[in-house]
Structures are given as C-alpha cells and as structure tokens.
C-alpha cells in the first residue's frame, strides 16, 4: 500500500506539471492580446526653450592689446658740463609736473665766454667812437682840400699858378679823401666784427638756456641715467619718461569681425565712427575706462592675421579711482570693445544655430527644424535677420536628444532668457539665486 501510494504521488508530480505546460502552449495564442497601434501613447520629452522677443542689442566686437603711452620723452644734454642740480625726488616711477627743472648743468664756462664777448663789444663801441671822431676831422680836412683845389684851378686858368703847384694841390686833396675812405672802411669793418660778436653772444646765450632741462609736460619717469656731480656730454641721455595725458592701445581684432559691424551701421561708416571702451577684467568686477577710436593700424599681423585698431584713453590718471580703477600703465594687457549705438534686434544664443538652422516648438508641440539667416554675431550671441519672429519658442536643449518631429513639452528657461538680454547689452550676466527655479544657463543640466 505504501509502495503504491508512493508511485502514485511521484506520477502525479510529473504528470500535473507536464499537463499544465501542454495546456499553456495550446491556449497561449488565445490568451495573448495585442493592443491596437493607435492606442500606444509616448510621454512628451521635456525641452528647454526661450520665447523670442526683440531686445535692446549693443553691436560690438572685442579685441585685446597692450597699453603704450602716446608720448615718450628723453632728456638729452645739449651742452657739456657737470650736473650742478637735480630736481628733488626724481626717480623711476615718479610723476613730475610740466615745467619742472629736472637738471641744471654747470654753465660757468659759458658765462666766462659771454663776459669775453661783452668786453669785445664794449671795445668795439669805443673804437667806433674814436673812428667817428677821426672821420669827422678827416671830412673837414677834405672839405678844405677841395676848396683849395678849386681855388688853385681858377688861378691856374688865369695863368697865375703853375701846373706843378696845381698838381701838388690835387695830390693833397687825394690824400685827404683816401684818409676819409679808410676811416669809413674801418667803421664798416668794425660793424661787421661787432655783428659776428653779437652772433657768438646769441649762441652762448642759447647754450646757457640749455643748461636747464625742464619737463615739457607732465611726465612719469621711467629711467634716470645721470646723477648730481656727473660730467655729461652733448647727446648723452640723462632721463627717460612718458607722458601721462593719454595712452594708446593697439588692439587686435580677427579679420572679418569689424566689417559686419560697419555694414550693420550703414554704408559709408568708418571704423573711427565707432565708440570704444577699455576693460580690465577683475576678480569681483570689471574695470572700465572711456576711450575713443584714434586710427586703424598700418598692417595685418602676419602671425595671427588680426587687424589692429588703435584706441586712445585720455587722462588715465584722472579716470583712476583708488581701490576700484587703477591708472593704465605701460604693457598692461586689456580688453578693447568697439561698439555702435544699441538697437532692437532678435537675439539668440549662437550655439542654438547649427548648419544655418534652429529647432523650434511647433503649434502641435513637436520639434521643427527651421532655416534662419544671421546678420551679426558677437561672443555667444547671434542676431537673426530672417526665419524667426517674436513669439517663437526656440529650443535650447542639446540637439543630440532633441530630434525634429518628436513630441515635446516646452519648459521656459527664464534664467537663460535674462542672460541673453544682459549679454546683448554687454552687461554682466545675472546669477540665478539658489532655489529660484530658474534655468541652468548656458551649460546647465539638460531636462
């Protein structure tokens, strides 16, 4: 009994699962039901968008350059001598006002030469006086001689005076006339010598004026190469400095970036018509100086193929503010921004444009690829001139996961929109506060 029961249990353990398996295979087709194709619903993909609208846009291009003073000046000795005086506090880095006497070279030798010239001029005047007195006497003597000659000629005509006596009188008149002419020549020669002495005196007075070397305008001293008591020679450099009235920055701009900006302003616009400002990025704020476009550089840089534009910052010392805006100094590398008056424009992130097209959300909430025309680009922004209109929802989501035709659910990125508006005006990009729920910005996480 026990054996038979055991056999039955074992048979049931094999047959029951086998029977159930066969029944599952036989009825599987009837139990399975496939839903209709139209009943499959796919959840829309979240995409970040910004709703386009015209915003104030500041057309601009950015370049970089180094600061150089507009004026460089060197104090050069024009006479030889010992440095007798040196301005107090003259040292590299010191700023001296215009007109400051920087050096005084010993001019004692020049003073002695001037005294010698003055003595010779005084002697010349005395000699003139004596010659003039002699000339007056000689002229009186000549008048008497001429009167005597006329009388002798009359007597000779009457036959009273012999020819020999007449010739003697003529010889006396000629001798007296020669003496007058000689005195006149001495006076003329004396005047010529006095003119030479006066020229020499003027040259010495000029040399004496060169003994003092003054700053022609406000200077920042860059090098001091002579000291008190040092003997200097003509042509020797004593001091080097640079003017503080203005500085130039020869900024380099990529070729092809300035042209679109000029075309945006209209035909006939020149580079010098643009406005400029100079910026020095700092850790907590940007330092900005007012500037003006001075001229266009003379040649394209052969290494970088950049076009130089020279901008000028007037009165860099006057624009400086302690603790917030330092004075512009030689060799500082700064950012130069050329810009035109702001205007309304349709501005989009440059990364949203790919191969001349963008992704937008259609009225059916699907992705649509749309061709656009861009007229100007600056930084990470582009101005759209065709293909888009205000009110269109521009997709910012990475195109790798945003495919045309797919169903989407647009999510407005308010933070990115604020960034675009600020960047369009060249302003600092606002930072979203924690917990504000704003978008992630340019490189934020994708939905």
- Cβ-contact 103, 86 below 8 angstroms: yes
Please provide the average confidence, as pLDDT, over all residues in the chain: 84
Residues 6+ apart with CB under 8 A from 254: 63, 305, 306, 307
CA dihedral (386, 405, 380, 49) positive or negative:
positive
Residue 30 has pLDDT above 60, yes or no: no
Return the biggest CA–CA distance within the chain: 217
pLDDT at 26: 59
Read off the pLDDT band of 17 (50, 70, 90). low
Q: For 123-144, what is the mean pLDDT? A: 91
Nearest Cα residue to 139 out of 182, 189, 169: 182
Residue 327 has pLDDT above 90, yes or no: no
pLDDT at 239: 95
Residue 201 and residue 246: Cα distance in Å, rounded? 40
Q: What is the number of residues in the chain?
A: 447
Read off the pLDDT band of 301 (50, 70, 90). confident
Q: Which residues, in sequence order, are bridge partners of residue 325?
A: 321
pLDDT at 441: 41
pLDDT at 371: 92
Percent of all residues in the chain with a pLDDT value above 70, rounded to a whole number: 85
pLDDT at 363: 87
Residue 128 has pLDDT above 70, yes or no: yes
Q: Judging by beta carbons within 10 Å of its beta carbon (0-12, 13-18, 19+), is residue 446 exposed, middle or buried?
A: middle
Residues 6+ apart with CB under 8 A from 186: 131
Residue 67 has pLDDT above 60, yes or no: yes
pLDDT at 5: 60
E strands in 147-269: 212-214, 219-224, 231-232, 237-243, 246-254
Q: For 82-92, what is the mean pLDDT? A: 93
Residue 365 and residue 363: Cα distance in Å, rounded? 5
Among 10-24, 76-90, 273-287, which stretch is predicted with the lowest mean pLDDT? 10-24
pLDDT at 269: 81
Residue 39 and residue 46: Cα distance in Å, rounded? 22
Read off the pLDDT band of 10 (50, 70, 90). low
| CA-based R_g, the chain, Å | 51
Give pLDDT tens digits for 406-446.
888 899 999 999 998 888 887 766 554 444 444 444 433 33
Read off the pLDDT band of 218 (50, 70, 90). very high
- Cβ-contact 385, 427 below 8 angstroms: no
Among 198-202, 234-238, 246-250, 295-299, which stretch is predicted with the lowest mean pLDDT? 295-299
pLDDT at 114: 95
**Domains delineated in the chain:** 46-55+345-424 (2.40.420.20), 60-68+245-339 (2.40.30.170), 73-105+211-242 (2.40.50.100), 108-209 (1.10.287)
Residue with tokens 């970036």: 257
Residue 116 and residue 2: Cα distance in Å, rounded? 160
pLDDT at 437: 42
Read off the pLDDT band of 374 (50, 70, 90). confident
Read off the pLDDT band of 6 (50, 70, 90). low
Residue 90 has pLDDT above 70, yes or no: yes
Q: Could you count the other beta carbons within 10 Å of the beta carbon of residue 263?
A: 12
Among 6-15, 195-204, 230-239, which stretch is predicted with the lowest mean pLDDT? 6-15
β-strand pairing of 45-51 with 408-412 = parallel
Residue 380 has pLDDT above 60, yes or no: yes
Residues 6+ apart with CB under 8 A from 45: 401, 402, 406, 407, 408, 409, 447
pLDDT at 445: 34
φ and ψ at residue 66, rounded to 5 degrees: -110, 150
Q: For 308-328, what is the mean pLDDT? A: 87
Residue 121 has pLDDT above 60, yes or no: yes
Residue 110 has pLDDT above 80, yes or no: yes
| pTM passes above 0.95 | no
Percent of all residues in the chain with a pLDDT value above 90, rounded to a whole number: 43
Residue 266 has pLDDT above 80, yes or no: no
């Amino acid at each position: 009994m026990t054996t038979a029961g055991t056999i039955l249990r074992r048979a049931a353990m094999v047959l029951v699962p086998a029977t159930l398996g066969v029944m599952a295979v036989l009825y599987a087709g009837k139990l399975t039901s496939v839903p209709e194709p139209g009943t499959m619903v796919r959840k829309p993909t979240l995409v970040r968008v910004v709703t386009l609208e015209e915003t104030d846009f500041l057309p601009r291009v950015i370049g970089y350059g180094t600061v150089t003073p507009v004026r460089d000046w060197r104090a050069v000795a024009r006479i030889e001598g010992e440095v007798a005086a040196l301005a107090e506090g003259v040292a590299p880095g010191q700023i001296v006002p215009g007109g400051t006497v920087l050096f005084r070279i010993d001019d004692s030798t020049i003073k002695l030469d001037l005294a010698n010239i003055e003595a010779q001029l005084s002697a010349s005047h005395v000699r003139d006086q004596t010659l003039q007195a002699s000339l007056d006497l000689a002229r009186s003597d000549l008048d008497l001689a001429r009167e005597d000659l006329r009388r002798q000629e009359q007597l000779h005509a009457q036959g009273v005076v012999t020819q020999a006596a007449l010739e003697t009188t003529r010889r006396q008149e000629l001798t007296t006339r020669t003496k007058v002419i000689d005195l006149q020549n001495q006076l003329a020669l004396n005047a010529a010598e006095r003119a030479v002495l006066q020229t020499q005196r003027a040259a010495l007075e000029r040399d004496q004026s060169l003994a003092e070397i003054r700053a022609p305008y406000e200077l920042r001293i860059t090098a001091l190469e002579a000291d008190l008591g040092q003997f200097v020679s003509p042509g020797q450099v004593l001091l080097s400095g640079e003017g503080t009235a203005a500085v130039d920055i020869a900024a380099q701009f990529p070729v092809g970036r300035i042209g679109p900006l000029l075309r945006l302003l209209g035909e006939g616009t020149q580079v010098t018509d643009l406005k400029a400002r100079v910026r020095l990025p700092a850790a907590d704020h940007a330092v900005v100086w007012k500037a003006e476009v001075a001229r266009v550089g003379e040649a394209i840089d052969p290494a970088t193929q950049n076009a130089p534009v020279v901008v000028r910052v007037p009165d860099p010392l006057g624009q400086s503010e302690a603790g917030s805006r330092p004075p512009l100094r030689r060799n500082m590398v700064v950012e130069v921004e050329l810009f035109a008056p702001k205007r309304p424009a349709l501005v989009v992130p440059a990364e949203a444009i790919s191969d001349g097209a963008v992704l937008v959300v259609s009225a059916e909430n699907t992705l649509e690829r749309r061709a656009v025309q861009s007229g100007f680009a600056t930084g990470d922004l582009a101005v759209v001139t065709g293909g888009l209109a205000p009110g269109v929802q521009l997709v910012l989501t990475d195109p790798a996961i945003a495919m045309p035709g797919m169903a989407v659910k647009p999510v407005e990125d308010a933070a990115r929109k604020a960034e675009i508006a600020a960047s369009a005006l060249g302003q600092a990009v606002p930072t979203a506060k924690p917990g504000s729920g704003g978008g992630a910005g340019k490189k934020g996480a994708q939905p």
